[in-house]
Structure 1
Amino acid sequence: MVRPRTGRARRREPPGDRHPRPGRATGSPTASGPGTPLVADDLRPPAVEALDRVIAEASELAELWDETPDGPKWRRNISRIRAVLAPGPAPQENPLFDL
């Protein structure tokens, strides 16, 4: 008699997967807010550089997206991703100068 399996299958990690492989994140992951995916600190700068190249004026990818009706939406999404990866400086509580 074969009994059906009950419950959830457990996910097993491959042996030896406890050590980082080349190309894996090695820094401590951080998030910028609730619901924000964790991204290792050492991967943020290269990711921002890649996004900057993708939306640069000389980018063929950006040129192709700009020719579609969804081009502006694509640029907004890239900007939102970039803002999560490289948030602007935190506002100062006591500004140096009053404007």
Structure 2
Amino acid sequence: MHVLIAIGPEERHGYAIMREIVRMTEGATRLGPGGVYTTIRRLLDDGLIEECDERPDPELDDQRRRYYRLTGTGRAVAGAEVRRLESLVRAARPWALEAVE
């Protein structure tokens, strides 16, 4: 799910996906190339992401990079997961925060 959410509304290549995962988890989650590219292959096979034909900025880009974006199904799956996690946090918040105080 980290890879799917890291791609989000943008087109990203593998290394950018790895950096975005580190950023959005504040360093708590780090996926190496093997983990990211295995997940990318699975997401491609499942129809949740697709490879982009266009390049964001050809002059600044390395042609060896492959860019990926969410499909409609991928956006729906990511949205459903966000709603599920929000619901879980809402349910836990009343008692979980008391334990911290």
TM-score range for the pair, normalised by the shorter chain length: under 0.3
Relative to the length of structure 1, the TM-score reads 0.25
